[in-house]
A and B are shown apart, each in its own frame.
Chain A
């Protein structure tokens, strides 16, 4: 077997473009997922039964079906939803790349919700009582007292989940979006260089994820010392 390294160096610009999309997808989905996940967590912990059950239902549903199936669902669902919102004649063409962003935000929200819920529940109840005693209302209590601490306590878990998300974004391959893996796969199939391309992709992911998880571990120890 001869290993053709030139195919990798020659296709670096194309791979880099795919990689940029992977990064973009990861960052936007993590931010969006965290935002909606926090809202979901607040809904799950609220005293309004209907809100509680809707949020729990959504989270449990998302967590019991495969991500690939979720990607397919949204790929066909997003154009119809947009059509319903805008009232257009026919479903708008959204494109795989943009659909993927919406999909991952909605999917990750379920996972970030569970992390934030654990974070909120780890705060002593006395803090809520003292906030109310100080005259803060619900939104102020959450925004200024509870959520910042929950976020800080859960930071290592949130970052670990983001590393998992970074790996999971590769699944946009199934709707032919050109992320890092998608770009590599296209070249691999065009030039029949599957061995070189897939080994290279695996190596890049491994180096990145391994160093990121080491960094998270260090951060975890640092936070543990402060507390």
Chain B
């Protein structure tokens, strides 16, 4: 019962979705201010979800059953992920050995859900979006996982979030070291790609594919994908804080660090044009992979 509550309310679905939607508003507001616009009121993203729930669900002709199954897959996995993450933040000991690996797996699920949903919708634009999403996943997962391995090595080979936090509480934040800083940059860019933000949003490119992977979705399924994105916007920066800035995670510091990372993500988003998918691949397998390997190597030498 308690577990179910923590999955549905705190720190699971309700809590993370609210924070995520609010962060989405911060994104829209900051973007608007950068672009000399006014921006929406704070409750705009909540209203968007409510509005979507009232809309008709249109299922395209010839779509397979997986079309409706995909949004559930994406939403359930990110909620599970944010629950595990939130509980480990509250009580260090609540995690289990290997929860880091589970989180890394669950983080891929939204992208896979997108790919499944898009490719079962029989829309040529969606299928191009799906093929781009596959390439993007292949691109950013390599440096992302390499950097996480660097962190694992740094924390004495532990794959438990609680002990990574414990390690940082004594030895200082991971980002303070040279290798940690390198890995941080890599993970920051990977997060940008996982969130499907410019410059790595080729799979949804509005001007080319008209929202690509999401093009056929409407009503409830679209709302679920939006919620998935919102929860990712909450969970990914928190995951970054846990891995790299875990020295002091009292609520005030946590919120401060979260806003810092959120704003830097928004700034990257607003100061870059969209990369082509082959350029994305080259970027992650080239400079980012080199940085990640370098970080891993330096960690082995204890730097």
Q: Do A and B come from one complex?
A: no
Residues in B lying within 8 Å of A, measured CB to CB: none
Residues in A lying within 8 Å of B, measured CB to CB: none
